[in-house]
Chain A
Amino acid sequence: MGFDTQRPGGVPARVVLLAAVGYGGMAMCLTLLFLGMRIVMDVGGSCGEGGPYVRAAPPCPDAALPATFGGIFGLFVFGAIATAYGSRIGGAWAAAPLLGWVALFGSLGWNFVDYGLFNPPEEAGVEVGLVICGVLLWILAVGPLLLVLPRRQRGSGASDATGPGTVVRIGSADDPGQPDQEPFAAARPVGEAPSNGIPIVPAARLSSAERRELAGIASAFGAAVECAEAETTAPEARAAPELPADQDEAFSEGTQALLDRLERLGDMRDRGLLTADEFDAAKVTIIAELESRP
């Protein structure tokens, strides 16, 4: 999934307002859950009222039930709002609701560690069980971050938006790229519909090595299409003459080059640099060229 992380221009005020409601609501619910858990920890870590099975438990403080249940269900509601409208803002705000997971389990883990290590109930010394619970919650909170962050760092900076599905327009260092310009326009076969709706990464955000690599691939792609088009538009040209014996080696090298080109195009499709339609069009022309060879 590729997305444009630095979409130029402003954001509609309605989207900003609803996203702010989502994020503010998430913060409110996380605060309620954090404090709701602490007030239960204050009465011994559990509470209950009514029924025959809760006689041993102390009664719940007034705020415990509404804060806990309101916090949990509110987190779902406001999290959904923040996710829906944060994704419309794009950039970091699209992924920020996922930090709710880290905040939730991190804060609840802190409560366990606080009451087990720094502020144990009834002066009971260090409560190892509570500390273990806290550490487990912290692992739960930080684990996904450790899985995600290395990927973000590998893809950070210039290439953070070059994921699968992202089309990259290649330009020079002086040319930051025009977002409204059709990528691979020169290489697109005649009659091929443009790929609308695909985000474009300005070339200025690509590293020089990436730019060189992509320029080489695009050049090979364009050459393949032009060559194949020339062959298919001039059928008489496909009537290949008998090759002299000394050209056999050169001819097999040409065939191998075409196969290599097809393989590179497959790699480009797998990396999301080409759409399936673009790949299919190029493949058809390359196969036609291969078949034209005796």
Chain B
Amino acid sequence: MTVPRPIVNVIMLGAAVLGAFVGLRLFEMLAGG
């Protein structure tokens, strides 16, 4: 199964945004907030 290239770009950008959001939530969790 292959993913078309335009979809790959969207997935990568989405992964980066999602990763930043996860980092933010993880930090809040570590800080006890």
Contact = CB atoms under 8 A, between A and B. Distances in A.
Contacts of B2: 9-13
A35 B20 CA distance: 11
B23 A29 contact: yes
Contacts of A91: 5
B5 A23 contact: no
Nearest to A92: B9
Contacts, number: 87
A28 B22 contact: yes
B10 to A, nearest CB: 10
B27 to A, nearest CB: 4
Interface residues of B, number: 24
B3 A32 contact: no
A288 to B, nearest CB: 48
Given A28-B19, A32-B23, A62-B31, A20 B5 contact: no
Nearest to A8: B5
Contacts of A120: none
Contacts of B30: 62-63, 66-67
A25 interface: yes
A195 B14 CA distance: 38
A27 interface: yes
Interface string B1-33: 111110011011011111110111011001110
A63 B23 CA distance: 12
B27 A32 contact: yes
Interface in A118-174: none
A66 B1 CA distance: 38
Contacts of A16: 3, 8, 11-12
Interface of A: 9-13, 16, 19-21, 23-32, 35-36, 39, 61-63, 66-67, 89, 91, 93, 96
